[in-house]
Amino acid sequence: MTPGARVAATIELLTEIAVTPRPADAVASAYFRARRFIGAKDRGAVAEAVYAVLRRHARLGWWLTRGGFTGPLETPAAETNSAQIPPGETTSGALADARARVIANAILAEGRQAASVERLFDGSRFNPLPFSAAENGLARALDHHTLDHPEMPEAVRSECPEWAEPGLRRALVGRFAPELLALTAPAPLDLRVNPLRSNREAVLAGLAAADIAARPCRFSPLGVRVEGRPAIAGLELFRSGAIEIQDEGSQLVALLADAKPGQQVVDFCAGAGGKALAMAAAMNNRGRIIACDVLGNRLKRAAERLRRGGLHNVETRALSSARDPWVKRHKGMFDRVLVDAPCTGTGTWRRNPDSRWRPLGPGLATLITLQAEILDSAARLVRPEGRLIYATCSLLADENEDQIAAFLASHPDFAPLPLADLWPAVFGVPSPLDGPWLRLTPARHDTDGFFAAVLVRKAPAPTPDSAPATAADPTPLEDV
């Protein structure tokens, strides 16, 4: 593809993302599947350009507003007739916005001059149509400026949406700006070694043989961090089940569940099964894991990953809701119950930059209620002295510490297991993290934002009839 054709594809994909109610990564995958003629190098370049614009959404928008471009810019009419994007008022506005943001990004973030950007919009075959009058004015107004500006509000500079700002400021006291800025950077690529198939040293050697630079992760003993974006799915290491793609933070959540061989375990919100796979491997295929979810299609993806990893102690079960009758029938039967709760995903914004600005699921208030309901229901499955693990990929205290505090207040039969006690038991070394819970952030730990709390169900208090006599409590003589 020519540079101009890449720009045209970037605009087209940004428009499709804007008008399609699906996550950006899913839209991008479908876009490239429908265009097999686009080579791997060009796909990578277009995807990188699209995500760069998405990561700079607030700052680019601030510049458009500052320049007086508050509404949809005039769009060359012929460009709305893409075979992939139906014409219409909404699409036309999305296309105009995409063109404006690509122009602004090229000038402000990539340091190009307005004239050089305009030359890419020459209307030749595969290239974008020429600038409209409004776009020409925009390019000239932005020429010789850079993306950041001293008058830009901190929330804009940090790419923080208005709905999340109060909660993130409360949760990230003194670290709001650095943490939010870390969420604007691309996420690293982490792999988890499957100990049933290989070990970390062998995986590192295999990656090196494939000319892929990698190193051990900072915290996870099974983690490997890869440089760049190599095609992992094409490696024999992946096809054989020796490795899985999983962020280091997610690996730590699964490891801290401390599932042991022979135990009975439930992954209550299993999704595609990443944490279930990790726990099954930790159990050495002994015992049983039941991976549950209300979305049955996601569990089908988990089954495929389990087969590849050689894991056969995991069952999948679709639930009708958090209060599915299955839960009541299995009350108090499990040693470990992991609740990886649905959440706002604020900790994953560096992977899903579009989700800050167009959340496709329930809002925060609805999620808080849902999390409490799921946690309350799943707790019924935990046996006495068993553990309940609550986790989110959110940075908001509303979804994390506040949820745990409310749960403990209404469930006096559960007690916290502090991280300072749990970490040495799992990893054999003192915890490198502060606080009673696992709380990971991108700036401090270079992982996705994660929270996890481990709670233990107390053993029932012995009844007077069952209490053994002791020297301090002798049997009265008159009863002999």
Catalytic residues, by residue number, are 393
- Sign, CA torsion 187/192/198/199: positive
Q: What is the DSSP letter of 227?
A: S
Interacting residues of 201 by C-beta distance below 8 A, sequence separation 6+ = none
Compute φ and ψ for 334, nearest 5 degrees: -120, 145
Report the distance separating Cα 385 and Cα 438, nearest Å. 21
